[in-house]
Amino acid sequence: MQSLCGIQRMMPVRTGLAAGLLGLSLTVPAAAATTELSYVVYFGYVPALDVTTSIETGDGRYRVQARVEPQAWISWALPWIAVSEASGRLAADGAVTPEHYHSEGTWGTRKRETSLDFAADGTLKTPPEPLKPEEGREPVPPELLKAILDPVSAVMAMLEPARPGRAGCAPSVPVFDSRRRFDIHAERQPDATLEPAYYSAYAGSAVVCQLRFKSLAGGYRDGERSRFWQTDKPGEERPPIELWLAPLQEGAQPVPVYVAGKSILGWVTAYISSYTLPPKT
């Protein structure tokens, strides 16, 4: 039960970096090229979560949608579904400027929705929803809410540098998820090869980025509840997460093909399990 309680603290009604299919009335890129991706997330060697993602790009814009839900065998113990969507502008050099973000998460009968709207300079158009006292969180100061990205746009910002001829990994990504403000620092590692396997839809070379999370504000006042940044050993800081990126066909946008890291649940990994690519132009 300790592990399940840990999951509940990590996943309740907040989608974070996993996001989803809401069908909101957001601006769709003209002549959009759509990539559909599916992943399986493993706790140890056990498949536990399914992630589906859609990435639309075109006409200098992007829209990313995603859905995270437990596999049927564990849904009784993990009644959590997270969906979210983000849209914004995508510059020729890969720079991401968010415009709108919406997330919806449920844990059993509990539900939380979050919406963020951004100005052209990356600041929020309206202040975030005030924290409720019972949440027990420290507020995020206004000076940390400038030039930020929502969690879904942050993932988009980490994909673009992996294109050929670019840095490979985004050096630093400032993220605000409506509660927490943190930075993701990425450091490129030697490229690696994902070997063929029945559980992976991709095999081949990949750009490897080592991600470190730095919490800046919005954490719990009660340190015992703030386990997001720790591993399954109390007091041990979470080691870096490895993000492997690769294009699924020549000239395509790089996407995550493998992710691995340690959390309060032990080792967690994710493999791309299927995909659909836009027609070549």
Please indicate, yes or no, if residue 258 is contained in any of the structural domains.
yes
Please give the pLDDT value at position 233: 53
Mean pLDDT rounded to a whole number for the chain: 82
Please indicate, yes or no, if residue 281 is contained in any of the structural domains.
no
Please give the pLDDT value at position 176: 93
For residue 173, is pLDDT > 50? yes
Please indicate, yes or no, if residue 210 is contained in any of the structural domains.
yes
Find the domain containing 110 and state its range.
2-276
Please give the pLDDT value at position 51: 97
Please indicate, yes or no, if residue 185 is contained in any of the structural domains.
yes
Considering its fold, how many domains does the chain have in total? 1
Please indicate, yes or no, if residue 142 is contained in any of the structural domains.
yes
Please indicate, yes or no, if residue 73 is contained in any of the structural domains.
yes
Q: Which residue has the higher pLDDT, 158 or 30?
A: 158
Lowest mean pLDDT, pick from 9-18, 88-97, 161-170, 207-216: 9-18
Please indicate, yes or no, if residue 228 is contained in any of the structural domains.
yes
DSSP letters of the chain?
-HHHHHHHHHSTT--TT--------PPPPTT-EEEEEEEEEEETTEEEEEEEEEEEEETTEEEEEEEEEE-GGGTTT--EEEEEEEEEEE-TT--EEEEEEEEEEEETTEEEEEEEEB-TTS-BSSPPPPPPGGG-BPPPPGGGSSS-B-HHHHHHHHHGGGSTTS-SS-SEEEEE-SS-EEEEEEEEEEEEEEPP-TT-S--EEEEEEEEEEEEEE--BSSTTT--TTB-SSTTPBPPPEEEEEE-SSTTPPPEEEEEEEEETTEEEEEEEEEEE-PPP-
> What digits encode the pLDDT tens for the residues 59-90?
999 999 999 999 999 888 888 899 999 999 99
Please indicate, yes or no, if residue 113 is contained in any of the structural domains.
yes
Please give the pLDDT value at position 260: 95
Please give the pLDDT value at position 182: 92
